[in-house]
Structure 1
């Protein structure tokens, strides 16, 4: 399994627009963990408000790796033997502790000094790249500035929402312009190499983007994933199928 895609897809099946019932989503996640796509999986994403339901759904199996969304920096981090909290996602601040913690910030607030200060505190950044409203999708210049600042400051980041498809495109139903996760991987690589990345994020030529991603060598792939840790997606099958379509995964994962 290529370094570039290992653990890239955080399972956010219970969030819109997927809205899968929590017990069903946990069962599907565990089924994938014993399937050929297991190396691609990140943690299961859940809000702490649904903790009791999560504990009940996870009962009777091995501990479930979870990225837990807290309502604020002062919120208590719950515990249960069925759950292994491997990451925290917090708006507007972050609790202390050894668990990797992502602070959600708008793209416009992600500057090199701000990101460097967060990195110095041992924190990471969460960037929202979509949603159910058009304003939830950052424009290419805004996302490019945030990614560039993250790379320049040395901080790790994750993305959330709107990235089901590999390459940037306009949704024919909603009309929303979606960023592509391959575009973001490639933009991160080019930022590390010192290039301007706005055009990379805007590129809708799927074959060109896929070829460029396939050409990323192992050392650069490791550096890319040091920064771009993962993204939350309410569908695991859609991004996997997209990678298969572009020949970026072995056929046995089909």
Structure 2
């Protein structure tokens, strides 16, 4: 059984780097997750907007719609087309993840996403637009998305930067998700690339106590992190809603290894 603290924590980003699963394989795997004992851990299958064009042929008739989150990396211009497309597909649109093009002001962004029929995660740029955007999202029901890694070292924000982003979201009352680079539960150094990678449990702790965010994001001791996580109330998930992961089984296995899920079931 998945504790409420971890329910829906892992968005299935199998088709994105570094996993790059072919779309048919990703759909089949996601369907299997939905039937597994750990189904409650798993959020929607995350797809880029162009992938919707292939879904009709791939999905066929289904007993239950495929839960999806759709990313719009070019900004909100494609939103009307995405909303039209999902009306014709056997999918359950759980979220929209929308980037902010250069030069688009917060008020213009809010106007552009006003027709959304699912929760919108606005990808917050790593520059001086962060504060104004978070303040603009406050009270709207929209959410924030923070990038926490990528294929280059410079795509990983340092502890101070990420802690400031989390604190800004919490202070504005804006829920957030994270994506990219969260390959492990704990802060770590990737042995192959040397990249300093954030841990998804460290983010959970920083969301609960943003004033100590930098120190909590830096903690690498599994026993220390696990003990702190056990003390968290499930309502912290109203702040940190989920993170994108190419692998569902890796977080599952690591949570079990830390004693946060039953070992025998992982």
- Which residue matches 1:85? 93
CA distance, structure 1, for counterparts of residue 180 and residue 135 of structure 2: 24
Give me the whole-angstrom Cα distance separating, in 2, the residues matched to 1:140 and 1:199: 8
SS state at 1:120 partner: coil
Q: Contact conserved, 1:107 with 1:143, CA < 8 A, in 2? A: no
Give the corresponding residue for 1:135: 154
- Quick check: 1:110 aligned with 2:130? yes
**Residue pair 2:149, 2:179 contacting (<8 A) in 1 also:** yes
Higher mean Cα deviation, 29-38 or 203-212? 203-212
Partners of 1:11 and 1:236 within 8 A in 2: yes
Taking the TM superposition and a 5 Å limit, the aligned residue runs for 1:13-162 are 13-61=14-62, 62-70=64-72, 71-75=74-78, 76-77=81-82, 78-79=85-86, 80-92=88-100, 93=109, 95-96=113-114, 97-108=116-127, 109-111=129-131, 113-162=132-181
Aligned to 1:243: 255
After superposition, the C-alpha distances for 1:111-166 in whole angstroms (9 at most, x for unaligned) are: 2x531311233321110001101111000000000000101110011100111210
Aligned to 1:98, the other structure's residue is in SS state coil
2:243 alignment counterpart: 231
Instruction: Identify unmatched segments of 5+ residues in structure 1.
Output: none
Contact 2:257–2:263 (8 Å) recurs in 1: no
Cα distance change, pair 213–107 in 1 and its aligned pair in 2 (3 A): farther
Distance in 2 between the 1:34 and 1:176 partners?
Answer: 35
Q: In structure 2, what is the equivalent of residue 174 of structure 1?
A: 193
More divergent stretch after superposition (116-125 vs 8-17): 116-125
**Cα shift at 1:210:** 1.1
The residue number in structure 2 matching 1:204 is 220
Moved more, 33-42 or 102-111: 102-111
Deviation at 1:252, TM superposition (A): 4.6
Q: RMSD across aligned C-alpha pairs, in angstroms?
A: 1.4
Contact 1:66–1:84 at 8 Å: present in 2 too?
yes
Give CA deviations for 1:52-94 in whole Å, capped at 9, x if unaligned. Answer: 2233222232210100012321212222231111110111045
TM-score by length of 2: 0.88
| SS of 2:6 mapped into structure 1 | coil
Q: Distance in 1 between matches of 2:218 and 2:119?
A: 30
- 2:14 & 2:260 partners in 1: Cα distance? 23
Q: Match of 2:105?
A: none
Q: In the alignment, what sits opposite 1:12?
A: 13
